[in-house]
Structure 1
Amino acid sequence: MNDYIQSMIEWIEEHLTGTFSLDALSKYIGYSPYYCSFKFHQATGISMRRYVLLRKLYLSTENLAKGGKVIDIAIEYGYSSQEAYSRAFKSVFGVSPGELQINQRPVQSYAKLTLMQKGEGKNMNFKEEVKQLQNKKAELFDTDVLNIFNGQRMYDEFHSNKVMGNSDYVPFNEAMCVHPTSKRIFDDQFIQLRAEGHQSSVESYKKMVIEPLKPLFQNYYNYIVVWFGEDVFCQMNLLTVLAYLEQSNYKGKVFLNSFRDDEFKVNQTELLLGNYLDVYEEVFLHQQKPSFELLPVMYQAIELHLSMLAEDNSVKKYIKNKDHLSEFELVKQLISVFPTLGYGDLQYIEIIKQVRKI
Structure 2
Amino acid sequence: MQNQTLHILNGQSMFDHFKKTGFLDGEMMIPFNEAMCYGKTTENIFSNDFIEKRAEVHHVTIQQYADITLKPLEPLLNGEFTNLELWFDSDMFCQMNILTILAWLDQNQHKGIITLHIVDDFFTPIEKYTLKANDYAALYKQVLIQKLMPSEITSPPLKKGVELYLNYLNPDSDLQIYIREHINTPENELVRSLLDQFKEYGLGDTQYIALIQNFRSEINR
Please report the TM-score for the alignment, with normalisation by the length of structure 2.
0.92
For residue 285 of structure 1, the aligned residue among 126, 145, 153 is 145
Give the % identical residues. 35
1:54-69 matched pairs, under 5 angstroms: none
For residue 178 of structure 2, the aligned residue among 318, 324, 345 is 318
1:76-225 matched pairs, under 5 angstroms: 144-159=4-19, 163-225=23-85
Indicate conservation of the 8 Å contact 1:230/1:261, yes or no. no
Deviation at 1:313, TM superposition (A): 2.7
Within 2, Cα distance between the matches of 1:312 and 1:198? 26
For residue 299 of structure 1, the aligned residue among 151, 159, 181 is 159
Indicate conservation of the 8 Å contact 2:3/2:83, yes or no. no
Within 1, Cα distance between the matches of 2:3 and 2:26? 5
Within 2, Cα distance between the matches of 1:334 and 1:158? 26
Indicate conservation of the 8 Å contact 1:255/1:271, yes or no. yes
Equivalent residue, structure 2, for 1:122: none
**Larger strand fraction of residues:** 2
Equivalent residue, structure 2, for 1:250: 110
Indicate conservation of the 8 Å contact 1:191/1:205, yes or no. yes
Code of the aligned partner of 2:86: V
Within 1, Cα distance between the matches of 2:94 and 2:168? 15
**Larger helix fraction of residues:** 1
Larger Rg: 1
Within 1, Cα distance between the matches of 2:184 and 2:169? 25
RMSD: 1.8
Alpha-carbon displacement from aligned partner over 1:18-45 (angstroms, at most 9, x marks no partner)? xxxxxxxxxxxxxxxxxxxxxxxxxxxx
Indicate conservation of the 8 Å contact 2:84/2:113, yes or no. yes
Within 2, Cα distance between the matches of 1:258 and 1:323? 35
Within 1, Cα distance between the matches of 2:33 and 2:100? 12
For residue 129 of structure 2, the aligned residue among 262, 265, 269 is 269
| 1:241 maps onto 2:94 in alignment | no
Within 2, Cα distance between the matches of 1:293 and 1:308? 19
Indicate conservation of the 8 Å contact 2:149/2:163, yes or no. yes
Within 1, Cα distance between the matches of 2:154 and 2:169? 21
Alpha-carbon displacement from aligned partner over 1:107-156 (angstroms, at most 9, x marks no partner)? xxxxxxxxxxxxxxxxxxxxxxxxxxxxxxxxxxx961000000001112
Code of the aligned partner of 1:354: N
Within 1, Cα distance between the matches of 2:125 and 2:69? 27
Within 2, Cα distance between the matches of 1:339 and 1:144? 34
Indicate conservation of the 8 Å contact 1:145/1:168, yes or no. yes
Give the secondary structure class of the aligned counterpart of 1:245: helix
Within 2, Cα distance between the matches of 1:227 and 1:201? 28
Code of the aligned partner of 1:257: H
Code of the aligned partner of 2:191: V
The verdict on how the C-alpha distance between 1:165 and 1:264 changes in structure 2, with shifts beyond 3 A counting, is closer
Equivalent residue, structure 1, for 2:206: 346
Within 1, Cα distance between the matches of 2:71 and 2:114? 22
Code of the aligned partner of 2:107: Q
Deviation at 1:200, TM superposition (A): 1.1
The verdict on how the C-alpha distance between 1:272 and 1:143 changes in structure 2, with shifts beyond 3 A counting, is closer
Gaps of 5+ in 2: none
Indicate conservation of the 8 Å contact 2:75/2:81, yes or no. no
Gaps of 5+ in 1: 1-141
